[in-house]
Structure 1
């Protein structure tokens, strides 16, 4: 059996151009062991137009030239940067009625959503599960959907919520009454908890390397700040991506938000966008009072996680802004002393790529995050790694969030190699390499962040820092309004 690797036209400027068309033996390693305010809406339409131009080109174009014939060197050290890797197409090797593209996501404190696709339109939306392999003591029935995008018709997309489940426990489950058995582990009830965070994942050989490195060490929840499949209107690539990540997304909850590559707008015919993303990757937005799958929040093990939408309305009159105000106001920092935010387009960025694309959202929402004492903000979009100090309004501020760009999962466009010089004093570490991050929250007051570079067969820990929660900081324990009131009383 073979998987196919080939060059795909990009919908954004290429930092590298992918390798030429190639057939790759389908080995276990390839198989991985087996919208907006006005400025943003204009930006969305521009990206969409490029996506539309790319749609017929994929069918005609089978050869690409290499932009870089030699490995690339970093600006700031002599570590070798490899060009963009070949695209991996992961085929379906089970029967029409068997589940494929299985992935799970958190729903509230005690439940899990199981999502999968079948080619058989008559397959049942049912999940059997239990705490012993091959023995299913519980059963849940869910819902299903499907969608059409031009001449593409999706399979039957199943979504079943199971539970209540015990924290820190392993469950075995089977989808649709047939096919293979899967298993997952629920997150712990309290700290410590470990999040894996990586954006702009794609489905290339670098993606395979990233996922292999992630899987080499245990974690509890996978967070992805946008740009999942890089399908860009090529709907079969959504199927390929689902099969590629299934060995990982079926055993740990994957919580995602959208990026620009999920938009897939076609004027008049598909004007709203996100059709494939919303159908395939439903998140628990209703549970947090959101009205859109593009932004939501959830709580797990003492952490309040907010997933924001960079490509839907975010100005002060928008539904997302109003929802965020309410969500932040209702956080109990005794119950969830840690608050982290994920979004796609970074608010702070010293890379030459995508300069200023998150600025209008920063101006609209940054004050809300600062007043709520959000601890960390993670973004993708820029295909490199960068860690900033705590910031508010373009200045170092010990009570502001720590900002991290982590858009280095393995996308087909390659790395964003060029950083501005001289470096900003706000930027503490930056490097254009593929990799992933880990946030280990040890207790109510301290966490450790580490970034793991993909260095051939090894994941090298290239950056790390200890973090104190702002809720435990006496200097930041009061909001700006509270501090102002206290000063007035004096």
Structure 2
């Protein structure tokens, strides 16, 4: 080949490779959310969560300690034919004192229905939609949110998704001891979190413990009360709930989890009660991933995995969602470190928009259990179509557009030989009280 022709070929090849390479975005600055002065009894930071069958918990904050914890609600704008009273709490943290935090459960509510509600007898009218009673149902998933420009981009993309419930596997506000950041986070997510239930579990940035001065999770537990009591748990750090044919377990990576712990005993009892005829899908969320080929946080989930993975395997858990690593990764069905058709699909989605940036370094060669991985900000959408099939897609935040970069159809294990034959002995052993 002539030298000139060779140079031209090399130039074309190198140009094509460069064009195909994805250029990952840089971190964005923290958002500045100016304080909007309102009356002391004005409801702030409104968010909702599921609270048992056909019930919803409405949470908000007021500066007025005597403001009522009432929620008026109905099916027509401005016409409230029902009212519920709730409870209040508050906390102090060094030189910070929270406002009054209101938690009020409303219901029973109709499935797949729009309700209008008002908190504390004043302020704006909010609108929520309850999840459906049966399939299909869609979950939005994003972990490690924080309060940056990328957080805003992720939330905007989720807002475009026609979802029913938001799942967040830990690291919400990134307040990191600076308590007013919890308030700004509440204001940031209110437009979405007041309209669809947000179901969350804790991450390392929620711990905020100070030895001899402050126990951990004071802010998180006070502000984000989940249905732990409704699910028989004695801790807000782990609980379960059911929605439209799906049983979802939220575990605590930062609560004791060995076989002698309260969380382990609760998990075993909760799994033994799951009726896969009524809820053919079984999902689990926690913060620290068990399967992670990124160099960040390598091996941090190993002890919890050793203790609890046999329980999830025996129960035929279909999907495990985690955060913590600021990147995206999806596994094959896997168990005990190896591909296994009877294991769970593990997805790490700790790339919602945190202030610390992306985790861009991966272990090579790629482990055999790892199917897809990329260091980018984004969110996931999980549409459970029916009792046997669900469609998962991950949407990269690319130039402020939600670009779908990975997707897969997932079949429920309830219809497989794994569920019917192979693990009866192990399942019986682990589920026996």
Tell me the TM-score normalised to structure 2 length.
Answer: 0.93
User: Does residue 180 in structure 1 map to residue 124 in structure 2?
Assistant: yes
Report the aligned-residue RMSD: 1.6
Instruction: Report the number of matched residues.
Output: 411
Partner of 1:101: 45
User: Does residue 118 in structure 1 map to residue 73 in structure 2?
Assistant: no
Name the SS of the counterpart of 2:103 in structure 1: strand
Check whether the contact 2:129–2:196 (CA below 8 A) recurs between aligned residues: yes
Q: List per-residue Cα deviations over 1:62-109 (Å, max 9, x = no partner).
A: xxxxxxxxxxxx99x611111211111323323322101000000111
Match of 2:227 among 257, 279, 284: 284
User: Does residue 191 in structure 1 map to residue 131 in structure 2?
Assistant: no
Q: List per-residue Cα deviations over 1:344-403 (Å, max 9, x = no partner).
A: 000010001000100000001000000000000000000000000001100100011000
Match of 1:416 among 359, 362, 365: 359
Alpha-carbon distance in structure 2 between the residues aligned to 1:484 and 1:317: 19
Name the SS of the counterpart of 1:478 in structure 2: helix
Check whether the contact 1:447–1:468 (CA below 8 A) recurs between aligned residues: yes
Matches within 5 A, 1:300-379: 300-379=243-322
Alpha-carbon distance in structure 2 between the residues aligned to 1:308 and 1:356: 18
Check whether the contact 1:114–1:161 (CA below 8 A) recurs between aligned residues: yes
Unaligned runs of 5+ in 1: 1-73, 486-490
Alpha-carbon distance in structure 2 between the residues aligned to 1:238 and 1:363: 34
Alpha-carbon distance in structure 2 between the residues aligned to 1:95 and 1:443: 47
Q: 1:88 to 1:377 in 2, by over 3 A?
A: same
Match of 1:206 among 139, 143, 150: 150
Alpha-carbon distance in structure 2 between the residues aligned to 1:107 and 1:222: 14
Partner of 1:430: 373
Partner of 1:442: 385
Shift of 1:306: 0.2
Unaligned runs of 5+ in 2: 1-16, 429-433
Q: List per-residue Cα deviations over 1:291-346 (Å, max 9, x = no partner).
A: 00000000000000000000010000000000000000110000000000000000
Shift of 1:249: 0.1
Check whether the contact 1:92–1:100 (CA below 8 A) recurs between aligned residues: no
Check whether the contact 2:314–2:427 (CA below 8 A) recurs between aligned residues: no
Shift of 1:477: 2.2
User: Does residue 85 in structure 1 map to residue 32 in structure 2?
Assistant: no
Check whether the contact 1:399–1:470 (CA below 8 A) recurs between aligned residues: yes
User: Does residue 384 in structure 1 map to residue 331 in structure 2?
Assistant: no
Alpha-carbon distance in structure 2 between the residues aligned to 1:238 and 1:95: 20
Alpha-carbon distance in structure 2 between the residues aligned to 1:114 and 1:484: 37
Name the SS of the counterpart of 1:477 in structure 2: helix
Check whether the contact 1:172–1:183 (CA below 8 A) recurs between aligned residues: yes
Name the SS of the counterpart of 2:256 in structure 1: coil
Partner of 1:251: 195
Q: 1:190 to 1:169 in 2, by over 3 A?
A: same
Alpha-carbon distance in structure 2 between the residues aligned to 1:483 and 1:232: 42
Shift of 1:481: 3.9
